[in-house]
Structure formats: C-alpha cells, structure tokens
Chain A
C-alpha cells in the first residue's frame, strides 16, 4: 500500500503543475510537427511512398508515438537521486523502512502516468495489437511492462553514479541524444542498413523504436519474442549493476534489499 500511496503522490505532483504538463505536451507536439514536415519532404522529393516499409502517414504516427514514449522513458531518477545526495535529503529517505528503488519506481510510474494513458489508449483503440489474438496481445503487454521495468532499472543503475559525480546534469543531453539516435526518436531504426539492425536491440531502441512498431502493428511474433528476450536480458544486467554499485555506496540494508 505504501507504493500505491507513493504512486498517487507522484501523480498528484505531476498534475499540480498543469501548466508545465500542457507546455510539455505542446513542446513535444512542435517537435513532432517539425520531424513530420522533414520526413514528408523526404518522401516528396525522393518520389517514394514508403521508406523501409513505412508509408508517409505511418511515419507521422511513428514520430508521434516515439516522442510520447520519450516522455514515458525519462531519465528523471538520475537527477532525483543526484538532488537527494546534494541537498542531503537522501539520509531522510534511507531512514524509512522501505526499499528506495521500489519507491522510486512507483514515483517514476506516477510521473509518467498521463503519457502512459495516452500510449495505453492508442494501444487499446488504434493499434491492431489486440486484433492479432489474445496470445499476441498478452505478449505485447508483457513486452511493454518488461521494457518499462528494464529501462527504469538501467536508469537507476546509472543514477548511482551520482555518489561519485558532484554534477550529473551533463548526462542529460547525452541521454537525450542516446534516445534520439539509438531509441529511434529521430528516425525509425529500420532504415539502417541490415548490418546495423542489431542496434534495434539496445535498451533505448526497445523503449522507443520497438514499442512504437508494436503499436503500429509492425512487430512480427518472431521480433516480439526476440524483444522480450532482450528486454529480460537487459533487465537482469541492470539489476546486477544496481546490486553491485549499491554495495559501494551508503545505501545498505532495507534501502536496497528490503
């Protein structure tokens, strides 16, 4: 129940700043519009009606979805932990009989809920995911949840760097760039040459490119299986990183393990 309350408080905080939420959605809309115009120009001047199997109207939907996913898969836990270390409030958090990372996860979910609702509605009503049978639908749901937990765990692992780095803000543009290039935010990774297709298996691509393709109904059962396996693999790696790194920082006991 404490995690449910954590989730509620995070969601309430997000909704408290309604102006910020609206402004953020507007900014993302502008980004989507710019990227869409650019890609429509590419279609027009190349004389082709599809690029790597994606038509122009699907490209616009792709860009919209991948940008919403970029909001869902944020790197905020890194900066939250860094702020807690810098202002000394981490001590207060560690004195609570609760697992810090689990609490942080539910805060992460609460903060992303408005965007998760947008993606969820699109999956439920626009996407053909559930029209491809319940087995495929459930596997898709599994991929979404697994990827979400995996990405959070990976970001949490990276966040532990805050114990050694005084300032972590230089990481923000790096992470944005990684999502832009490796996550498929700027372009679908399918347009890469076949020798580079493995890039689509990186954690950012699973969170951005692959979940967008899933919504567009462009993920085969084979690809879905591979993505599930990769997400599970990255999750295991992230958990190992968190456990090992946490052993070297003052977060012993229930804060990590309880």
Chain B
C-alpha cells in the first residue's frame, strides 16, 4: 500500500446528550435535574485510505458513519486516538490550507443560497478558494455539462428540483478540485437516472484525477457502483473492512443459488428445488456446474448474497462491548 492519505488510529468520540422524561411532571423535573448521557458514537476505529481510493462507509442510522466523516473533516474534535489527513494531524483546527484540500458534501446540508442562482454561490466559492477565473470557467463548464445542469446555473435554487440541487451541491464540493472528497448520502432522494449520472461522473473523476473519495450511503447501489473498498460501522465500531465482494463472500450464508428462468423447467434436475413458477433454488455445494440451460436463465443470485441482505443481518446484530 502506498503512503496513506488518511490514517485513523484508534479514534473514539462520545456525544453528550440530555435525556428528557415524558409528560408535564417529567418536563418539570428536567428543568432542575437534567440527566446527562454520554453516547459513544465512534469507538476505537482504525482505518487507512490510500490516495485515489474510493472507500465506502456502511452502517445503519446512527451507526457512526457521519460522525467519522465529521471527525475526518475537522467539524468535530478527536477525543481519543489520532487522525491524520493529508499532512494535517489536527483537522479540527481547520487550517485554511487544509480546508482548501478537502471537499465535503453533507446530506441535507446546503452550501447553496436559497434565493440566488447556483452560479452566485459558485462564484462566492471561487473567491473563497481562490480559484483562478479561467480555470473556474472551464471546470464549471465541464462539471455542469457532465452532470447535465448547465441550463439551471442561473435559475434560483428554490426553483430547482431535488436532483438538480444535489448535483449543484456536488459541484460546490468539487469547485476547488479537492484532493479528498467526502460524500455523505450523495444520492438520497434522487431518481435512478440522476443516480446513474452521478455514479458515472464520480467514476470518471476518480479515474482521471485520482481524487480520493470517502462515501457514506444507505443505498447499497451507491457502494456497489463506486466503492473499491468498504468499512462497515455498527454501533460505532468497525466490524468489517475489505472489498465489497469480500464482504459478500464473508457473510453470504448459504451456498444456495436463486435462479429465475424464462419458463418453467420441464424436468427438475437433481439438487434443484422449485419455489415458484419459474424460480428455483440450486444447492451449489452439491454441484460443479449449473444443471439448467443458460439460454433460459434470466438471473442467477447467491441466496442471501446481496449487500442489502447481508447488511440487514449485520446491522441487526448487537455488538458486544
């Protein structure tokens, strides 16, 4: 592995929250005796990311993915352990030189001025990040063209669709060509066509510029399309790190294939069980080849072998403290 661009070493972070009792008497009690509670959001996580890599962070709601991104970007301070991004060991100090090298798109948080066209915000960002004017013009033309939003550059943000807004948020995060791009739920709430457009664009960007991308998403399609490596976070702990295929290989439970054919089979081969009209279960452990004519196969999946199934099972497991 080349020199990592991100090194997270045994990092932990606790949130302090206050519990609230229900009802009027509870509220009265809370006025004078608030119950403080420490919530461990990230626990002893270690991770390394190589330059040019696309890392997917997977986890259920509240698993600690976004907190980890906030620690990496310096929004939150590291309470325990150490964290180094690029050559900065203290992202929380938010040195301008450090901030100019990262781009961040946080889900449901907006950089865009609601009443102004996206172009006005982008021009502001050009000045903030000191992007040369000619480079800005060319880069912006490229980005808007790739994401198919050139026509919306001068339309007030409040009049844009959600998909168009998300694309402009992505452009805001990229306008200064950061070395590391953090994307928190980049495709939430947008249609499949726009999702495909974003996937293709990010793949090209990563390939052409070697930009490192850290991606969190609940949408496993995002991870499957983009991530070269994944880290699974559950209850603040890292429970898996490896390739998406490695994750499937490790957690797919049974060597059983689900096969869908274009018509019901006339004869049922050995080790094949019919579950519906044209749907069969094949015991892969007992066979070396598929005993069904490939011309009639519509799809083959390993049972419990898709990311959604695996993650559902993983997230429902409690992790021992």
User: Which A residues are closer than 8 A to B by beta carbons?
Assistant: 1-2, 4-6, 8-9, 12-13, 16-17, 87-89, 91-92, 94-98, 250, 252-255, 258
Bound-state Cα–Cα, A5 to B129, Å: 12
Determine chain A's interface SS by DSSP, over half rule.
helix
Most chain B Cβ neighbours within 10 Å, of A5, A12, A17, A89: A5
**Which partner residue on chain A sits nearest B73 by CB separation?**
A95
Knowing A5-B124, A95-B104, say if A12 contacts B129 (CB, 8 Å). no
Contact B116 A254 (CB under 8 A): no
Q: Would you call B79 an interface residue if the criterion is a C-beta within 8 Å of the partner chain's C-beta atoms?
A: no
When A9-B121, A13-B115, A16-B116 are in contact, do A253 and B128 touch as well, CB less than 8 Å? no
A215 to chain B, nearest CB (A): 32
Enumerate chain A residues within 8 angstroms of B128, measured Cβ to Cβ: 2, 96-98
Of residues 123 through 141 on chain B, the ones whose CB sits less than 8 Å from some CB of chain A are 123-125, 127-129
Residues of B within 8 A of A92 (CB): 104, 106, 109-111
Asked, given contacts A4-B127, A92-B106, A253-B93, whether A97 binds B115 with beta carbons under 8 Å apart, the answer is no
Chain B residue contacts of A250, Cβ below 8 A: 75-77
Q: For residue A4, which residues in chain B have a CB less than 8 angstroms away from its CB?
A: 127
Q: How far is B99's CA from A250's CA once the two chains are assembled, in angstroms?
A: 16
A-B Cβ contacts below 8 A, count: 79
Please report the C-alpha to C-alpha distance between residue A237 and residue B97 in the assembled complex, in whole angstroms: 31
Within 8 A of A (CB), among B91-125: 92-97, 99-100, 102, 104, 106, 108-111, 113, 115-116, 120-121, 123-125
Complex-state Cα separation, A209 to B139, whole angstroms: 51
- CB of B94 within 8 A of CB of A94, answer yes
The 6 closest A-B CB pairs, nearest first, are A253-B94, A97-B96, A2-B127, A97-B99, A253-B93, A2-B128
Given A4-B127, A9-B113, A91-B109, check contact A253 B120 (CB 8 Å). no
**A97 with B113: CB separation less than 8 A:** no
Given contacts A2-B127, A92-B106, A96-B128, contact A254 B92 (CB under 8 A): no
Residue among B104, B110, B127 having the largest count of chain A Cβ atoms under 10 Å: B127
> With a CB–CB cut-off of 8 A, which chain B residues contact A255?
94
Residue contact B110 to A13, C-beta cutoff 8 Å: no
With both beta carbons as reference points, the residue of chain B lying nearest to A93 in the complex is identified as: B111
Residue of B nearest to A258 (CB): B96
Give the complex CA separation of A258 and B125 in angstroms: 16
B24 CB → nearest A CB, Å: 19
Query: Counting CB contacts under 8 A, is B221 at the interface?
Result: no
Asked if B302 lies at the interface with its beta carbon under 8 angstroms from chain A, I say no
Q: How far is the CA of A98 from the CA of B111 in the complex (A)?
A: 14
B59 within 8 A of A: no
A110 to chain B, nearest CB (A): 11
Taking A2-B124, A5-B124, A96-B128 as contacts, is the C-beta distance between A12 and B116 under 8 angstroms?
Answer: yes
Per-residue interface assignment for chain B, residues 33 to 58, with 1 indicating a CB less than 8 Å from any chain A CB and 0 otherwise: 00000000000000000000000000
